A and B are shown apart, each in its own frame.
Chain A
Amino acid sequence: MNIFIQGMGCVSPQHTTGGPFLAEIREYEGNRLKAVEPDYKQWIDLKLIRRMGRVVKMGVAAAKLSLQEAAVVMPDAIITGTAYGCLDDTGVFLSKMINQQEEMLTPTAFIQSTHNTVGGQIALLLGCNACNNTFVHKAFSFESALLDSIMMLREGAVQHILTGGVDEITDHSHAILSRFGLYKQAPIRNTALLQSATKGTIAGEGAAFFTLGTEMTAHTVARLTGVSTLYRPADIPEITGALQVFLSSHACGPEDIDLLICGRNGNADEDGVYEAITQALFPQTAVAGFKHLSGEYPTAAAFATWMAARILQLQELSPGVLISGTAPAKIRKILICNGYQGTHYSFILLAHPNI
């Protein structure tokens, strides 16, 4: 059974909700990339917008764009991946609870802090009674949502699944995660991130949703061939071994990959893995990066999936994404190889719909 991306939507630190595909890179100075938020009024009632957290609005916008592009009115399931969930509302309720010593609290922030708020709000806005699930597993959140969607489509009981990944940065989360040494200390421009030789990366955020189905339509963007995760690999040979098993389970090998999109994030401690994988399996393959566009966050693979599918559809590489090599004239297969903090790796394989 083939699974196709019928439509997709993306809110990110780049201009991704309209206009030409990543025509120019939006440049940032500093270690935090903030999503460029669209005018939400085009999808959400003004009264609701005021009450919704930013992560919910980003998720709803990406979901609505995805359904619009696919020309699907009502999905048969909504599966969301979010590592951090609704951080802003969590922080608001937690702060008030502590500052007010558990007294005089109001429910709004607590209600909105629940991890399945994004999926629930999409269902509420659509009036969608179908299956609704939310995965919250760090850098496997989006991958688990994709895998669950693929398994449900294979079971044959559903036609269209809306699935995606979303995470937000808040002032509190950025301050706390900075203390763990995740982000660069010295001034940095995102356009120079992938060439950086220092430790740390740049924080990012965003939402990307996909309408998946099993039939090719006039709207089909790309084929979603498969997804796999690898938790705590012992060493690089285990990663390359798992990658080869993954590719052969989808009847192809490294030589069939026309473009490798890797999760380089400019952290000198992490990027060596991609060098090693490229040398071992993809010495001749064109390699692209994406985290200088999206920033680093646990569901960033959703942004990469959006970018890969659009490259397959338009057959054009946006400026500034290629790290090495030259992409062939015809891009048929793209492999996303993403890593997160040296513990979580995922492989997502996409193909042009006609092959």
Chain B
Amino acid sequence: MSGNVWIAGGGVICGIGTDLQACLEAFAQMQPGMQDMQYLRSIHRGVLPVAEVKADNAALAARAGMPEHISRTALLSKIAAEEAWASSGLGARAQYRVGFVSANTVGGMDKTEEFFASYLQHPPSGGRLQQVVHHECGSVTELVADAMGIRHHVTTISTACSSGANALMYGARLIRNNIADVVIAGGTDALTRFTLNGFNTLMILDQAACRPFDDTRTGLNLGEGAGYVVLVSDAIAATLPQAPWCRLSGYANANDAYHQTASSPEGTGNYLAMKGALEMSGLQPEDIAYINLHGTGTQNNDDSEARAIQRLFAPHYPPMSSTKSFTGHTLGASGGIEAVFAALAVQQGIIYPNAHFTTPMKECPLVPATTFSSGNRIPHVMSNSFGFSGSCSCLVFSETV
């Protein structure tokens, strides 16, 4: 029930790169990943830009070493989880009590959509069962756990857009309670027509590139991908071939309890999550050297998040940015992907840029970083993830000294 939780490595696949190094290069070269849809079949192709992973399922399956017919969500998950594991230098998994805690929002929905079209034409016998067998969120996690030989502790979290961050918190608890030695924690989500159309009905999708924290913002762009960190205990951290990236020093989950989808105007849940994570880490607001914003680019989210930041940090604001201006909003994956970015920010002193920013918001004029830089002194980073049903989560990563 005690001890530190360390980040031993991380892996990402998303719309700006199929591994972490490629993502860093995209940030450095200011190349966001939004384009016209190439892989998702939808009537919104050509209208709604999305940040797709630039590979078809056959290519992803070959890299993942998994069958092509399974959900793209599982393929993305396996690729990022394997990269995370390899980067940790931990070696054979069999020597540890390994947990896999993965988040996603719609499980194998990409395949269920195909199934359901045939099923609805000829109920109840229409549609191939193979396409719906991995519909459940947990099934996607198990496909990857089984492929990686992880059996000790496997579970799935789904709290909408904060899911990935909550996976890190639960993983950290497993380590602090001596239930696991190592936990691969994060999230995955592939683009689906279900989510694209769902967000479209809410009228929060921008038909141009999203502009988080900008006064001209009119919505978000959806993205897809997966991101995982490798969490380890003090005992395992001491055996790593290289120093861990950083420490997960604080985390908190709070609920806005305001509306099913909208954030409260004052960002109550956002504020409580950030405040709680800071308290756990034993830090003051001025200790935070970079904030990875939730920053979706919707009117409501950015306004609430900015007000919560103002309440906690005013008058001195650390550099901040929304990497969703590059990756799009990857939903259940975003908390995992951004945890990897945030942890790496501590290790390599990175401040990520916020793309397409020109005009500060009138109501709360915070100015995000707009250029990439590394080698800064970044002792502590905060990463925000907020979602439907008032879910608000915040993680704090701290340097290893």
**A197 in contact (CB, < 8 A):** no
Contact B156 A136 (CB under 8 A): yes
Chain B residues near A (Cβ < 8 Å)? 1, 42-44, 105, 107, 112-113, 116-117, 119-120, 123-125, 129, 132-133, 136-139, 141-142, 145-146, 151, 153-160, 166, 170, 173-174, 176-177, 179, 193-194, 197-198, 200-202, 252-261, 268-269, 272, 387-391
B-chain residues with CB within 8 Å of residue A245 when the two chains form the complex: none
- Complex CA gap A229/B142 in Å reads 14
Q: How many residues of A contact B (CB 8 A)?
A: 60
**A to B CB contacts below 8 Å, 28 in the list:** A83-B138, A84-B136, A93-B198, A107-B198, A107-B202, A110-B202, A116-B387, A117-B260, A120-B255, A123-B255, A124-B389, A124-B390, A127-B257, A129-B254, A131-B253, A132-B253, A132-B391, A135-B156, A135-B157, A136-B107, A136-B137, A138-B138, A140-B138, A144-B155, A176-B124, A176-B132, A180-B129, A180-B133
Q: Could you mark each residue 136-154 of chain A with 1 if its beta carbon is under 8 Å from any beta carbon of chain B, else 0? A: 1110110010011001101
Whether A105 contacts B197 by the Cβ 8 Å rule is: yes
Asked if A133 and B159 sit within 8 Å, CB to CB, the answer is yes
**Inter-chain contact B255/A128, CB cutoff 8 Å:** yes
Residue B1 contacts which of A128, A144, A155, A232 (CB distance < 8 angstroms)? A155
Q: A133-B166, A180-B129, A229-B153 given as contacts; is B136 within 8 A of A97 (CB)?
A: no
Does A2 make an interface contact (CB < 8 A)? no
Report if A103-B253 is in contact (Cβ < 8 Å); known contacts: A138-B138, A154-B177. no
| CB–CB A101/B255 < 8 A | no
Q: Which residue of B lies closest to A120 (CB)?
A: B389
**Judging by beta carbons under 8 Å apart, are B255 and A132 in contact?**
yes
- Write the nearest CB–CB distance from B123 to chain A, whole angstroms: 7
A73 at the interface (CB under 8 A from B): no
Cβ-Cβ contact count across A and B, 8 Å cutoff: 184
Q: Which of B123, B156, B257, B389 contacts A114 (CB 8 A)?
A: B389
Q: How far is the CA of A68 from the CA of B145 in the complex (A)?
A: 40
Flag if B151 contacts A231 (CB, 8 Å): yes
User: Which residues of A sit under 8 angstroms from B145, Cβ to Cβ?
Assistant: 231
B155 touches A140 (CB 8 A): yes
Verify if A9 is at the interface (C-beta below 8 Å from B): no
Quick one: given A111-B260, A137-B141, are A129 and B269 in contact (CB under 8 Å)?
yes
Determine the distance from Cα of A176 to Cα of B111 in the docked complex, in whole angstroms.
14
New A-B contacts (14) at CB < 8 Å, excluding given A132-B389, A137-B137, A175-B123: A102-B193, A105-B197, A111-B261, A115-B137, A115-B160, A116-B388, A120-B390, A123-B257, A132-B159, A134-B158, A135-B155, A138-B139, A151-B176, A232-B151
Q: Which residues of A contact B255 (CB under 8 A)?
A: 78, 120, 123, 128-132
Taking the nearest CB of chain A, how far is it from the CB of B104, in angstroms?
8
Q: Nearest B residue to A230 by beta-carbon distance?
A: B151
B201→A116 contact, CB < 8 A: no
Contacting residues, chain A, for B197 (C-beta < 8 A): 93, 97, 102, 105, 110
| B154 pairs with A98, CB closer than 8 A | no
A94 is an interface residue with CB less than 8 A from chain B: yes
**Which A positions have Cβ atoms within 8 angstroms of B?**
78, 83-85, 93-95, 97-99, 101-103, 105-107, 110-117, 119-121, 123-124, 126-138, 140-141, 144, 147-148, 151-152, 154-155, 172, 175-176, 178-180, 229, 231-232
Given A97-B194, A123-B390, A154-B177, residue A136 in contact with residue B157 (CB < 8 A): yes
- State the Cβ distance, B67 to closest chain A Cβ, in Å: 19
Smallest CB separation, B103 vs chain A (Å): 9
Q: In the bound complex, do residue A120 and residue B253 qualify as a contact, i.e. CB atoms below 8 Å apart?
A: no
Interchain CA distance A57-B356 in the complex, whole Å = 43
Residues of A within 8 A of B269 (CB): 129
CB-defined contacts of A232 to chain B, threshold 8 Å: 146, 151
Q: Which residues of A contact B179 (CB under 8 A)?
A: 147
Cβ of A176: which chain B residues have Cβ within 8 Å of it? 119, 124, 129, 132
Cβ A98 vs Cβ B116 within 8 A: yes
Give A115 to B107 CA distance when docked, in angstroms: 10
Closest to A148 in B: B170
Expressed in whole angstroms, the minimum distance between the Cβ of B329 and any Cβ of chain A is 14
Give min CB distance, B133 to chain A, whole Å.
8
* Cβ-defined partner of A124 (8 Å) among B117, B166, B200, B260: B260
Chain A hits for B146, CB < 8 A: 232
Q: How far is the CB of A312 from chain B (nearest CB, A)?
A: 25
Q: Does the CB pair A114–B105 fall under 8 Å? A: yes
Contact A105 B200 (CB under 8 A): yes
- Is the Cβ of A119 less than 8 Å from the Cβ of B137? no
A103–B193 alpha-carbon span in the complex (Å): 12
Shortest 10 CB-CB contacts between residues of A and residues of B: A120-B389, A110-B198, A175-B124, A137-B138, A115-B158, A107-B201, A138-B138, A137-B156, A136-B137, A132-B255
With a cutoff of 8 Å between Cβ atoms, the chain A residues found around residue B156 in the complex are 135-137
Q: Hey, which chain A residues are within 8 Å of B44, CB to CB? A: 102
Which chain A residues lie closer than 8 Å to B198 at the CB level? 93, 107, 110-111, 113
Distance in angstroms between the alpha carbons of A126 and B269 in the assembled complex = 15
Contacts of A152 in B (CB 8 A): 173
Cβ distance B96 to chain A, nearest Cβ, rounded Å:
16
Q: Name the contact of A138 in the complex, choosing from B136, B151, B153, B173 (C-beta under 8 A).
A: B136
| Chain A residues closer than 8 Å to B388, beta-carbon distance | 111, 114, 116-117, 120
Q: Hey, which chain B residues are within 8 Å of A120, CB to CB?
A: 255, 260, 388-391
- Contacting residue for B194 out of A94, A103, A137, CB 8 A: A94
> Given B120, B136, B159, which contacts A95 in the complex, CB threshold below 8 Å?
B120
User: Of the candidates B120, B153, B200, which one forms a contact with A98 in the assembled complex, judged by CB atoms under 8 Å apart?
Assistant: B120
